[in-house]
Structure formats: structure tokens, C-alpha cells
Amino acid sequence: MTDERLRRWRLLLGGASGELSALGEDDRRRDSALTGLYGGGAPTDAPDANGKRSAGLGGSSPVLHRWLGDIRTYFPSSVVQVMQRDAVDRLGLRQLLLEPELLSAVEPDVHLVGTLVSLSSAIPSRTRETARAVVRKVVEDIERRLADRLLAAVHGAVDHAKRTSRPRPADVDWSRTIRANLRHYQPDQRTVVVQDLVGHTRRSRSAALKDVVLLVDQSGSMAESVVYSAVLGASLASLKAVDTKLVVFDTEVVDLTEELRDPVDLLFATQLGGGTDINRAVAYGQSLVRRPTDTVLVLISDLYEGGVARELQRRVRELVQSGVTVVVLLALSDSGTPAYDHELAARLSELGAPAFACTPDRFPDLLATALRKEDVAEWAERHDIPVGR
């Protein structure tokens, strides 16, 4: 074996490989970081029975702080985020994340935000501002990636819905008008005779053209979906053409529409964890519907219903029959195929409320499709997203 292959095997196998290959200083730090998390070492960096220091993170803040620094130095950001999540889950380090010096050392990501939000009631005052800064950094990153796309998609969908053949001069869409009248082109005069104008009705400054109701399951398994829903909901709330409501629920229902001005405040107002009463949430969402044919209701839940499933199906049927576009997102996340109630997802899809998982980057196009009253199930299938299975 070459030295490089021996080195790779040594890093892969850890201490179990013995003296398979000597490691340089950087590789020893990498190896120590990996062993501390995955190698089942001692709870601190105290000497073991043979007098050697073994790896491990345990409950020592200085040890954990050094470990966080090492993984950020020796591994790419995507790997760091995975290792941090594993450390929280495998080693029970949630309480340590409430210490300011540790929070300042972590690599912020959506999963960490979910953990901080779930611990919000336990965060001490000395850590609260650090925790908010971590959450805001992730929120701003999501906004940079998705906000402009979402706003453009929704603007386009709402404008198309109000197209007219008798626009005011200032509202004429000249590109579309020329294309619509090319059949009237006069070769000898080298001009197009415009017989049909294409444009859009002018939006009222005071009235929204569409209503969007987001019902978000805040049970513990939906943490990532809650984070993305809060940020995307806040972006939607900035549009005058769309009236946006955001409601979170577990066994209780809380309307957080007034918190949409700041997604960080909104996130800290949620209470991740607990049971689920989807029927109760949909009943509240139903009470918000003013203009059924101009309303899109998005239920974001894994559909593990703790309430009355039969009543839930009845309410969804009523909403669809009244003209509301109902979409069920089993997850709004990048974490792959979610766990969900397959039977209830299939039944809701049969009722006309297609149920499927959606990544955040596809949500703008999905919402635009729903606002245009196009077939959402067909959109999902076109993107190879299985519906209601």
C-alpha cells in the first residue's frame, strides 16, 4: 500500500487500526476530532487506565470549545454541520449550546436553529443575544438564497391572474402585445398593426389580490420546516398583492401573523415539540378564508394526527369544494424523504389536496403554480415528486 492509502485507512478506521500508518500533526487533530465524536472515548480528555489521553467531548466546555474549533479548521462547512448535529444528538450536548462562548464557535445551520428554538424557554439571559445572532445569521442566509426568487414568482403569478385585453395605456405589456399582433404585420410599411392590446389590471394599493394561509406543524419532527416556513412567510408578508397568514400548531393553535415582520422574533415565538391536532389547525385556517377562489392554503405537516382524522378529511373536502387551493407539504426541507402518515397523505390527495414533500428552493415555483390555479399535482409529477403515497 502507498503511504497515502495507509493514511486514509488510518483516518477511516481510527485507533482500531493500531500503527497502520503514522499521522502528521494535522491528521492527528482530524483523527482526534472524529474519535471524540464517533470513537466512544472517555467523557473528557482525562488520562485512561493506561495513562494515555483518550478522546471524547463529554460535559467539559473547554474541551468542546477546542473540538468545535478543530472541526471548523479541518473539515468543510457541510461536514462541520453534520458533525455538530451528531454531537448534539449522540452526546447530549444541548445544554452546552446555551453557553455564549460555545454558540459563537459553532457553524450556524437550519438544524442548529431548530435546536435553539426548541430550547428557547431554557436559554439564560447571558446567552439570549448570542442565540438570536446565530438564528439571524441563518435567517439572512435563507433570505439571500430564496427571497428574491419567491417574490418574483409570486408577482408573476398574481400579475398573470389579472391579465386583461383592455388595459390602460400605462399598463400595456408591449412585448406580449407585439407578439399577439404579428399576424397583422404589414411588409410594405414594415410595421405591425395593433388590433389587440395585452396588459394587466392595475393593482389596488389597499387590497390584496390573493390570500395565502400557511398552517405549520411545530411538533419536534418538523423543526427544519418551521424555520423555512417562518423565513418564507416573512418574505411573502412584504408583498401588498398577497395577504399572508402564518399559523403554527401542535395540540394548540397560535396565529403568528403579527410576528411576520421579523422571522427571528417569529421563530422564538414558536414552541417546538409536543403533540399534534391537525384538524383543529385546519378548522382555524378555514375560519380565515374570505375569498375561497382567491385563497391558497398550505398545510405543512407530517400528518401524524393526534386529533380526529375523519373530521380533518371532512374539512379539507369542504375547503377544496369551496374553491380553495389546498396543498399539503409533508416537509419543507432539504433533509431527504421525510417520515409521514402515508395513508392520510393518500386520502387527502384523493380529496384534491395533493400531499408531497418539497425542498425550499422549489417552494417559489410551487406557490406560483397554486396562485395561478394550475394543477399542483401535475406540477409535482413533472418534477418527479411522488404525490400522496
CA dist., res. 332 & res. 224, Å (int): 7
Pairing state between β 295-300 and 325-332: parallel
pLDDT tens-digit readout, 261-293: 999 999 999 887 777 899 999 999 999 999 999
Residue 287 has a CB neighbour count (10 Å cut-off) of 9
Dihedrals φ, ψ of 133, to 5°? -65, -40
CB 97 within 8 A of CB 104: no
The residue ranking higher by pLDDT, 64 or 74, is 74
- Here the cell at position 119 is 430550547
DSSP annotation of 172: B
Residue 234 DSSP SS3: helix
Cell output for 383:
418534477
Please write the tens of the pLDDT for every residue from 291-323: 999 999 999 999 998 778 899 999 999 999 999
Edge-to-edge strands of the sheet including 253-255? 253-255, 242-249, 210-217, 295-300, 325-332, 355-358
pLDDT beyond 90 at 12: no
- 3-class SS at 330? strand
pLDDT value of position 82: 81
Single-letter residue type at 190: R
**Residue 326: in which H helix or E strand, if any?**
strand 325-332
What residues form DSSP beta bridges with 326?
297
Grid cell 399535482 — which residue?
A: 377
User: Looking at the predicted structure, is the pLDDT value of residue 150 above 80?
Assistant: yes
Per-residue pLDDT band for 165 (boundaries 50, 70, 90) equals low
* CB contact burial 149-180 (16+ within 10 A = b; e otherwise): bbbebbeebbbebbeeeebeeebebeeebeeb
- pLDDT tens, 341-380? 999 999 999 999 999 999 999 999 999 999 999 999 999 9
Nearest alpha-carbon partner for 16 in 1, 48, 38? 38
**Whole-angstrom distance, CA of residue 258 vs CA of residue 270:** 13
For the question of whether the overall pTM of this predicted structure is more than 0.75, the answer is no
Beta partners for 328? 299, 355
CA distance 345 to 302: 9
| Separation of CA 275 from chain center | 20
Express each pLDDT in 251-269 by its tens digit: 899 999 999 999 999 999 9
Cell numbers linked to 326: 389546498
For residue 51, report the phi and psi dihedrals to the nearest 5 degrees: 85, 5
Cell 409533508 belongs to residue? 330
**CB-based contacts of 306, cutoff 8 Å, min separation 6:** 251, 275, 276, 277, 278
**What b/e string do you get for 94-117 counting C-beta neighbours within 10 Å, with b at 16 or more?**
eebbbbeebbebbbbbbbbbbbbb
DSSP class of residue 259 equals: G
Amino acid (1-letter code) at residue 153: A
Helix (H, G, I), strand (E, B) or coil at 341: coil
Give CA–CA dist 154/135, Å, rounded: 26
